[in-house]
A and B are shown apart, each in its own frame.
Chain A
Amino acid sequence: MTSDYEHLRHSLDVAPGDEREEGGSVLERILGYLIGLALAILLTATSFFIAGTDLVWQPSIPVALVVLAIAQMGVHLVFFLHITTGPDNTNNVLALAFGVLIVVLVMGGSLWIMANLNQNTMPTDHIMQMQR
């Protein structure tokens, strides 16, 4: 019964960007931003380091950069925009998920189709060269 009431109390929505009322004191909130800042600096520094280094296998670099960027976006969403997985954030997360779906379709679809077109409409002399 108690857990039921607990659930109801927590299922009230919060605005995107807002922390929950019981989010804590000012110091705790500043600490949250500091943690976010530290993680973001760490990920950014890693990105810039990896882009210029030859310590790692070169073909892995683009994938590593994309993964680091997505991780940092996640850090910003959680620590700065306060988009969490809590029940009070369901609406915000659903809107975000739809946005991400469109972004993935637009970017992935464009790259895929254009790569295909590049392959299939290659100038004839290029094709001759490749067949040789």
Chain B
Amino acid sequence: MAAMATTYGDGDPHHLGGMQGSGAAHDGPASKRIVTGYGFWIFILSDIVMFSALFATYAVLLGQTAGGPSGRELFDLRNVAIETAFLLISSFTCGLAAIAADERNKLWFQVGMAVTCAFGLGFLAIEANEFASLVARGAGPTRSAFLSAFFTLVGCHGLHVSAGILWLLTMMAQVFAKGFRADIQRRVLCFALFWHALDIIWIAVFTIVYLLGSAS
């Protein structure tokens, strides 16, 4: 007990050695999966910080409608509820696909990813439809500062989802062609992180943009 305390306490502050005998703790740097996953986690957090700037812009410009339509008149909450459901279900099936990847089950991985892709595309279709109808009604991004902020924020999330779907299709192809190699598994891990993070950002979007935006 005393020996262990010395080893892990103040005995070796610069990790010069002395751990070999203990047979526990770290045997060198972390595995590549942990390093890759952690690095991608940092990227996701920086992406969230970028989104927070867009959210702040939207919140500040919420009332600046320049005499144009406000959120209450524009937003169709039924559509938003469907979008939310689609993205939530796709996040769930993405999790199932990640489990299948861990179990090295090609069939269920492809099924899970295909369902994720279908719901993601459904989400994008509804969003594109909403944007088109807003522009058609003369409420495009040039109408007011409020609408500029709205299109920037929601459009940026939509671009992320589009990029995610391209990545998703790439992962399906790579697993199909190369199987569950270690590097492919790391990419699947990063993709799952990315897709779940998009859903987290969508929570903020539907709350701040649509629910709070149509309340004010």
Contacts and interface: CB of A to CB of B under 8 A. Distances in A.
Contacts of B193: 16-17, 81
> Which applies to chain A's interface (DSSP): helix, strand, loop or mixed?
helix
> Which applies to chain B's interface (DSSP): helix, strand, loop or mixed?
helix
Nearest to B46: A99
30 contacts: A5-B24, A8-B24, A13-B30, A16-B40, A16-B193, A18-B189, A26-B99, A30-B99, A33-B92, A37-B89, A47-B206, A47-B211, A48-B81, A48-B84, A48-B211, A61-B215, A62-B215, A65-B211, A65-B212, A69-B208, A73-B203, A81-B197, A91-B38, A92-B38, A95-B45, A98-B45, A99-B49, A102-B49, A106-B53, A107-B56
A106 B204 CA distance: 15
A96 interface: yes
A15 B33 contact: yes
B126 interface: no
A53 B53 CA distance: 30
Contact of A102 (B34, B52, B81, B212): B52
A86 B189 CA distance: 20
B167 interface: no
A78 B212 CA distance: 25
Contact of A47 (B38, B57, B207): B207
A8 B56 contact: no
Interface residues of B, number: 55
Interface string B28-68: 00100110111011100110110011011101100000000
B204 A17 contact: no
